[in-house]
Chain A
Amino acid sequence: MVIREQAPTVPEPVEHRATTRGTARPQARRRSRFAAWYRQGGPTVVLFALPVVLIFLYFSWGPIVNGLVMSLQRTNLVAPAQWVGLGNFQYVLADPALGQATINTLYFTVLAIVFGFPLPIFLAVSMAELRGRSWIYTTLAYLPVIVPPVVSILLWKVFYDSSADGLFNSILGLAGIPPQPWLDSPATAMPSIVLEATWAASGTAVIIYLAALTSVRTELYEAAELDGAGIWSRVWHITLPQIRGVILVMLLLQIIGTMQLFTEPYLFTGGGPQGATTTILLLIYNYAFVNGDYGAATALSVLLAAGLCVLSAVYQFTTRKWSTD
């Protein structure tokens, strides 16, 4: 705003006078307004805005709108698209695979939250108390995040070798625990995927919590200490409440992220054994890129996205009391 006033735009007042007097014909007024816009660098503004507008139109806004439209159509790219109303949704909801996939996805999310959510908080709070060598800890914690997911999945597949000589089974053997089937059994396949996913993702959360912890007001510790609060009660009553905004957001992001799990089940098990690791995203992938049924795929995507939106709205609403401070 400021800049525009500072810019050498002498003719503007003249134009204003002309419009208020109403002597100029509308067309001329429009032309002079255009001239002023032009002289103020209007075209440059448009040029600057063009990349972001075009890119978002083509690759963000467009596909989002198109996703909503396509969920109401039958389309396979060969025949012209047909409106089928809610037919795709009916088809998707009637698919017996959906129930199993939903249960699998929720199972994964619950396991991933139970194991993967408290761990980074614990690590970050402990690591924030390090004096000196803390960079060793942060580097080590972040190292798994650097490993490309495909590399870590293929590597963990070797770790999960279900023979007695597999790496994990050998380690269990040292402790006298019998070999586990890991990815080969419907009962243990999903927990195995959760284990790898937790390993791969925790580093990011640790770094984010560490950054949040630097903003904790330290005089509160002082006050609590004078009041005789021990270390645990300081963690519970000062540290965690001070970073609860970040904790709440991270929990939501983690739920949303884990509900959209694809690469791990796709590469680890392909959805097996016996469909025990087929997630909703894998189902969407199969609809679209195996069956070529784009309508059903987008319908299920829209359902999942709507579910996630409702979830985050409810979450934001119920946690509003705690997070604002």
Chain B
Amino acid sequence: MSRTRTAERSLISDSDRKRRGVRIPLTIVQLLILIGLLIAGLGPLLWLLKAAISPTQDTLRDPLAFFPSGVVQWQNLATAWTQGHIGYYLGNTAILALGAMIANLFVCTTGAYVLSVLRPKCGRILSGAILATLFIPSIVSLVPLYLTILKMPLIGANLSNSYWAVWLPAAASAFNVIVIKRFFDAIPREYFEAARIDGAGHLRVFTTVVLPLSRPILGVVALLAVIASWKDYLWPLLVLPNPDLQPISVALPKLAQHSELNIQLAGLFLALLIPVVLFIVFQRSFLRGVGMSGGVKG
């Protein structure tokens, strides 16, 4: 993804770049894009940081000024943390995201292993049935899925107000099964044969050969699963009516209704902090994962 200085030629060649008629407009365009991206990408976040530690009146009266009254209210963050129970809800969000990630990895890797390596007779039907769900808009199943959670067919259990209601449906990701299957397909078959000759069973091949070799793709899938779960709003709103179980995304709109603007903005800032820090730490995997998901769609 990152282009180095010695990159091979691209759209604009080195000789183009030496010409003044190209170099100057190119620099200007790139500079304008950088400014635009700074304003659009970083601007709102920096403004949120400023507003989170400002008195409400400053934000309301003169949102563009830099601390017009000279008051910096660091205590807003502490107030939002305790009053809005931000830490508690962030904990819920983390449990939901981690569970969704584990469920996703477990179901999608075992499924991909069956389709890619074990290949039973009905494998083609199974993989076709999984692929087909990609082409059906998810809206068809929203209401029936909700009713499934309220009363699981055959079992009869009611999963609402339990984290399974979020974890298990998240694992039904045809996209992830197919991405992982493609990765497994690219592992040389000789590895499996060698392991089998050494007497390894299906399970051992899976845990000692396939999984360690596919660590990169598993990292990407795990990351995408965590992001998707972290961002989700409608589904947890529906299946977790108990406020004690809700993630931060469901809790924030309620906090916004019941608290003063500065506390509300401090809450937003705290809720934003973890995803942004995670993004900066895992930036490379994030961007590679997103780029790859496009490649699969394309």
> B110, A52: Cβ atoms under 8 Å?
yes
A170 within 8 A of B: yes
Task: State the CA gap A294–B141 with chains docked (Å).
Answer: 12
Task: State the CA gap A308–B138 with chains docked (Å).
Answer: 11
B264 within 8 A of A: yes
Partner of B286, one of A59, A142, A150, A167: A142
Q: Which residue of B lies closest to A235 (CB)?
A: B11
Interface residues on A, range: 35 or more
> A146, B275: Cβ atoms under 8 Å?
yes
Chain A residues with CB under 8 Å of B51's CB are: 158
Partner of B252, one of A56, A64, A150, A250: A150
A52-67 to B contact mask, C-beta < 8 Å, 1/0: 1101101111111011
Task: State the CA gap A312–B137 with chains docked (Å).
Answer: 11
Classify the secondary structure of A's interface with B. Answer: helix
Interface residues on B, range: 35 or more
> A167, B63: Cβ atoms under 8 Å?
yes
Chain B residues with CB under 8 Å of A127's CB are: 33
A315 to chain B minimum Cβ distance, whole angstroms, is: 12
> B111, A167: Cβ atoms under 8 Å?
no
Q: Which residue of A lies closest to B13 (CB)?
A: A225
Task: State the CA gap A156–B253 with chains docked (Å).
Answer: 13
> A263, B234: Cβ atoms under 8 Å?
yes
Task: State the CA gap A128–B147 with chains docked (Å).
Answer: 47
> A245, B298: Cβ atoms under 8 Å?
yes
Q: Which residue of A lies closest to B34 (CB)?
A: A137
A49 within 8 A of B: yes
B280 to chain A minimum Cβ distance, whole angstroms, is: 8
Residues of A within 8 A of B (CB): 1-3, 6-7, 41, 44-45, 48-49, 51-53, 55-56, 58-64, 66-68, 70, 77, 123, 125-132, 134-144, 146-152, 154-156, 158-159, 161, 165-167, 170-171, 174, 199, 203-204, 207-212, 214, 218, 221-222, 225, 231, 234-235, 238-239, 245-246, 249-250, 253, 256, 260, 262-263, 266-267, 281, 284-285, 288-289, 294, 297-298, 301-302, 304-305, 308-309, 312
